[in-house]
Structures are given as C-alpha cells and as structure tokens.
Chains A and B, each alone.
Chain A
Amino acid sequence: MNRKHIGNYDYLLIPMILIMGIVIGWPLIQTVIYSFTDAQLLEIQPAQSVGLQNFAKAFQNKGFLNSLRVSGVFAFFVVFSEVLLGTSVALLLNEPLKGVKIVRGLLILPWAVPTIVNAMMWRLIYNPEYGALNSLLYQWGFIEKYVSWLGSANTALGSIIIADVWKNFSLVAMTVLASLQSLPEQQIEAAKIDGANSWQCFFTITLPHILPAIEVATVMRIIEAIKVFDIIQVMTKGGPANKTRSGSIFIYQEAFTNSRIGSGSAYAIIMVALISILIIIYLKIVNRKER
C-alpha cells in the first residue's frame, strides 16, 4: 500500500469544487439551457423552447460565420507573427551580446502593460487626426495625407493585429528564451568538435530542444487569440463594416445589444465546441511532455 494514502482528506477539495460549481459549472449549464430557447435579456415574455432552431440558424447566419472567419484570420496572423518574431527574438537574445541582459529585461514591458491600456495606446497612435503614426509617416514622406487606420475597411484588422503582436510576442519570446537557456552548452560544443557547422547544430540540437516550448506557446496563443474581445472592443468595436467583428464581439452584441440571449448562447456554445478541440490538442501536448 502506498504510504501516501494514510487518512482521507478529500474534504479539502469541497470549498474549491463549491466555488467552481457556482462560477463555472452552473453558468455553463445555464448557457446550454438558454441555447435551446428564445430567451431575451429583458424578459418581456417568458422564454419558449425552440429546440435546435438556434443552432440551425447559426450556420446560415452570414454575420456569425463572418465573425468566426474574422476570429480565425486574426488568430492566424497574430499567432504566426508572434511565434516567428518571438522565436527570432529569443534566439537573438540568447547570443553573448553586450547589453543583452537589459534587453531581456525589457521583454517584460509589453507583457505587463494591461490589454486595455495597450488597445488605448495604439488607438491614440493610429488616431486619424493627430496620431503619431500618421505624423511620422507624413514627416518621412511615406504618405501624402493622414490615413484613418482604424476607420477604413482595408487597414483596420491589420492595425489591430500589429497592436496585439506588440503586446504578446514578448510572452512567446520569454518562453522560448527560457527553454534555450536550459539547453546544455556541452551538447553544442560536442557537435562542433565533431565538425558540425552552425546550421547543422541549429537544426539537429537547438531546434528540437526548443520545439516543445514553441508548440505549447503556439497552441496557448491560438486559444487566446480565437477568443479575442478586449482589444477589438476598445479599438473598433467590431467596425468598420464588421471587418473586425470577431466571434466574441458578435456574440456579445447578439446577447447584450440585441438582447437575444437564446441565440447568443447557441453561438457561444458553438464557439466553445470549436475552442474545445484546440484545448484538447493543448492538453495532449502538455501530457505528452510530462510523460
């Protein structure tokens, strides 16, 4: 018998399970229940069950499908850039350069700036009348007249993506850097003595060593990026012409602006299902590593 199993202390879990039940379990069940009704935010008439109608409509609703596409496009570009930039930065800051420690320290700055402050900061930078970006590009002669970065359909999503990359590439960089620093130097030296060049060393030793860290950071960031709400809400509220209306923004508007919590819940459940697939992939990767 395992000596760990002396005594039964299961009751230690009760407070935690109780709170989780109240703030996680119960709301989730309620959302599922709402998704089969035509419930309104302001109860004018009692909610009626509508079966699977909300779900059937969801897949025909162009607005909803478009919002999922926006979330997907946003997540793809944001995560792709963050992983590429973050990994490159980590490799650079792993080199024995003068002042590299200070720059490593700076990486914490974008991570620590609150999401809303980041959104507001970039909103000011992109300001169509007095924004720093317009002023800079104008002074350098790149643009003839000021551009409404967040106000035109072509540039809005891209502008938000840059703002998000600024804040979140640092997390990827710090994760990969930590992984790089746990790489035993003797391994690389041994390979070099055996005659391997820098590129061979990188692809056979360094990259395999940091790949798991990159994997975890990537999936983690995809999950976060698909859920995006805050930065878009502050920068464009989903406009112009719904070009930046992500899944979360769409569902929020459906439930709280249009007061339709029945269909809003159904959309939310569909999103939960999609994200669940990603979470399962994430958990698989983490478990594989622990084994």
Chain B
Amino acid sequence: MRKPLYVRILQYLAMVLLVIFIISPFLWLVIMSVSTSADLTTKPLRWIPSQIDFSSFKELLTMGDNSRGELFVSALRNSLTTALSAVSISLLVTVPAAWLLSRYSGKKNMILGIAIFTFMLPPIAYCIPMYKTLVRFKLMDNSFSLAIVYCSMILPFCVWLLKSNVDDIPFELEEACIIDGAGLWDRLVRIVLPLLMPALATVAIMALIQAWDEYFYAMLFTSSKNAMTLPVVIANLASGRQSRYNLIAAAGVLASAPPVIIGMICQKALIRGLVAGGVKE
C-alpha cells in the first residue's frame, strides 16, 4: 500500500536529521584531528580548516625516547596484545566448555547461568581484591595480568554466545561420526569446529572490540608505557591540561579506526551476534 506523499517527505526529512545526528559529532572529531591548533582556538570556530594538517597523527605515530609518540605507539601495541591474549585464552577454554554445555545440558546449565550473571555485575565488585592481589604478586602494570583480568568479562561473554551457536549445529552430524568410531577429538575438530567457524569469528571480533574498549581495569592496573592501553592514554590526554585539541582528536580517530572499520566490514555478522546476545529468533 502506498503512503501519502507528505508522509514520505517527513520520512526523508527524518532520515536526513538522523544522518546529521549520527555523522556530525564524529565528522567534527575527524576535522579537528586534521586542523591546526590555531583554527581550533579561535572564537567563533573555523569549521573548515584553513589547511589540512596531519602533524598530530605524525607526532602520535613517531617513536622517540620519552616522546608522546612512544607512549601512544606502546599503548597501541599494549591494547592489541592485551585484547588478543584475553580473547585467545577465553576462546581456548570456552569452545570445549560451550560444546559440553550444549550437548550435555542439564544441571550444568547452572554454570552458564552463573557466567551470564557474573558478566553483568559491575567491575567495581571485583576490582578491589584484584588490585590487592596484583600488588601483592607484583603483577601491576603488566599486559599479561591485565589480559587475565579481562577474562572476567570476555570469558563469560564467549561461553554464553558460543553455547547458543553450538545449539544450532545438529547433533545427528556428530552421531554419524560416533557410529564411525570417532573419538571426542575427531568429533570436535572434524564436525563441530568447522561448522562453528563463522560464529566463532563473530564472537572473537565482538570480544576483541570489548577488550579494546575496556577502560576501568586498565586505568586501575596500569601506570606506564609497559601496559597502559589506548583508552587510558586517551582519557589522560582528554582530562589533563592538554590544550592541543587536534592532538587529542587524532588519538581518538586512531583508536576508533580499527573497531569502526571492522564494524563496517562485518556489519551483518556483528548485528546477528549482537541480537543473539539476548534475542533469539
């Protein structure tokens, strides 16, 4: 059925407003990152930069002893190592667990319930003893211990989503394999894992984005270029006395680039994953 013309016009108008709402804050961040300091400290502002200036990016990405670049590049590296380690550890232990919880459900479902429950509790409930323990064992400011801490949020998330994905793999396929006399390893590696691959990739990407995003634990448990992650460096830049807005903006653009690009590429899979988080069709 066709909608009246005025409805269509209103709809297009609403869509234009929506696009402006979504794009303008981030576009302004990008513009700030390539503006000169002078353009960003005039009243009223210069909306279109007088010249495109990439020096902020260059400064952030150039290594030099004790320079801002060194801190930023280390943070980039730390963010990557921490996120990758946390997600690898989590997937390694949750893939077999998710399979077992799916295939041999029953009382063990309680474990899944506990995982989902603890995933939703505030980090503030865990961070105090974590802090004390990390100090006692001299594990503060260390990417690997931060990755273990991240498992407290990544691991429950992974087992939750993976379990519901294993549910979708028909058990009959495994049965055929059992009749052929295959052992557990064969069943997992030859049947389950290949079928689980697309879901596994989605879960891994979502978990990586979560770890990349994490600020609270990183702020508490890291203090130098040894382990500080990007969110901590950016938060320090933003709340410090730093008045070079183009530099802060450039750091933000660089930190957003990986998740935004991955998000755009894997959009379909991500949305399916996000929705599966709570709403099963």
Is B truly associated with A?
A: yes
Instruction: Indicate if the CB atoms of B280 and A121 lie closer than 8 Å.
Output: no
Per-residue interface assignment for chain A, residues 112 to 147, with 1 indicating a CB less than 8 Å from any chain B CB and 0 otherwise: 111111011111110101101001001100000010
Instruction: Indicate if the CB atoms of B152 and A275 lie closer than 8 Å.
Output: no
Per-residue interface assignment for chain A, residues 2 to 37, with 1 indicating a CB less than 8 Å from any chain B CB and 0 otherwise: 011111011011011101101110111011001000
Query: Across the A-B interface, how many residue pairs have beta carbons closer than 8 Å?
Result: 289
A interface, over-half SS = helix
CB distance from A108 to the nearest CB of B (A): 4
B128 at interface by CB-CB < 8 Å: yes
Instruction: Indicate if the CB atoms of B40 and A4 lie closer than 8 Å.
Output: no
Per-residue interface assignment for chain B, residues 225 to 252, with 1 indicating a CB less than 8 Å from any chain A CB and 0 otherwise: 0000011001101110000010011001
**Contact partner of A271 among B11, B115, B125, B260, CB < 8 A?**
B125
**Contact partner of A31 among B1, B128, B263, CB < 8 A?**
B128
What A residues does B267 contact at CB under 8 A? 105, 108
Bound-state Cα–Cα, A127 to B32, Å: 13
Of all chain A residues, which has the CB nearest B14? Answer: A92
What B residues does A117 contact at CB under 8 A? 29, 231, 234, 252, 255-256
**Contact partner of A248 among B22, B124, B274, CB < 8 A?**
B124
What B residues does A135 contact at CB under 8 A? 43-45
Instruction: Indicate if the CB atoms of B259 and A97 lie closer than 8 Å.
Output: no
Instruction: Indicate if the CB atoms of A100 and B279 lie closer than 8 Å.
Output: no
Instruction: Indicate if the CB atoms of A16 and B93 lie closer than 8 Å.
Output: yes
Instruction: Indicate if the CB atoms of A272 and B122 lie closer than 8 Å.
Output: yes
Instruction: Indicate if the CB atoms of A279 and B15 lie closer than 8 Å.
Output: no
Given contacts A26-B129, A252-B124, is CB(A174)–CB(B275) below 8 Å?
yes
Of all chain B residues, which has the CB nearest A174? Answer: B271
Instruction: Indicate if the CB atoms of A112 and B108 lie closer than 8 Å.
Output: no
What B residues does A15 contact at CB under 8 A? 92-93, 96-97
**Contact partner of B234 among A120, A216, A233, A272, CB < 8 A?**
A120
Interface hits, A246-291 → B, CB 8 Å: 247-248, 251-252, 255-256, 261, 264-265, 268-269, 271-272, 275-276, 279, 282-283, 286, 289-290
What B residues does A115 contact at CB under 8 A? 213, 215, 231
Instruction: Indicate if the CB atoms of A97 and B11 lie closer than 8 Å.
Output: yes
Interface hits, B109-135 → A, CB 8 Å: 111, 113-118, 120-133
Instruction: Indicate if the CB atoms of A31 and B238 lie closer than 8 Å.
Output: no
CB distance from B13 to the nearest CB of A (A): 10
Q: How large is the interface on B (under 10, 10 to 19, 20 to 34, 35 or more residues)?
A: 35 or more
B149 at interface by CB-CB < 8 Å: yes
Q: How large is the interface on A (under 10, 10 to 19, 20 to 34, 35 or more residues)?
A: 35 or more
B209 at interface by CB-CB < 8 Å: yes
Instruction: Indicate if the CB atoms of A130 and B245 lie closer than 8 Å.
Output: yes
Instruction: Indicate if the CB atoms of B130 and A9 lie closer than 8 Å.
Output: no
Instruction: Indicate if the CB atoms of B100 and A179 lie closer than 8 Å.
Output: no
B interface, over-half SS = helix
Given contacts A13-B108, A107-B22, is CB(A283)–CB(B116) below 8 Å?
yes
A95 at interface by CB-CB < 8 Å: yes
What A residues does B255 contact at CB under 8 A? 114, 116-117
Instruction: Indicate if the CB atoms of B111 and A166 lie closer than 8 Å.
Output: no
Given contacts A99-B15, A283-B116, is CB(A175)–CB(B26) below 8 Å?
no
Given contacts A117-B234, A130-B45, is CB(A112)–CB(B256) below 8 Å?
yes
A57 at interface by CB-CB < 8 Å: no
CB distance from A278 to the nearest CB of B (A): 8
**Contact partner of A27 among B117, B130, B156, CB < 8 A?**
B130
Bound-state Cα–Cα, A122 to B32, Å: 12
Instruction: Indicate if the CB atoms of B11 and A30 lie closer than 8 Å.
Output: no
Instruction: Indicate if the CB atoms of A269 and B216 lie closer than 8 Å.
Output: no
What A residues does B231 contact at CB under 8 A? 114-117, 230
Interface residues of B (CB under 8 A from A): 1, 8, 11-12, 14-15, 18-19, 21-23, 25-26, 28-29, 32, 40-45, 89, 92-94, 96-97, 99-101, 103-104, 108, 111, 113-118, 120-133, 148-149, 151-152, 155-156, 159, 171, 175, 178, 184, 209, 212-213, 215-216, 219-220, 230-231, 234-235, 237-239, 245, 248-249, 252, 255-256, 259-260, 262-264, 267, 270-272, 274-275, 277-281
Can you list 8 A-B pairs with a CB-CB distance of less than 8 A? A10-B108, A17-B111, A19-B93, A93-B15, A112-B260, A117-B256, A179-B281, A275-B122
6 A-B pairs besides A26-B129, A106-B22, A237-B239 with CB distance below 8 A are A4-B103, A19-B148, A23-B155, A41-B131, A108-B267, A230-B215
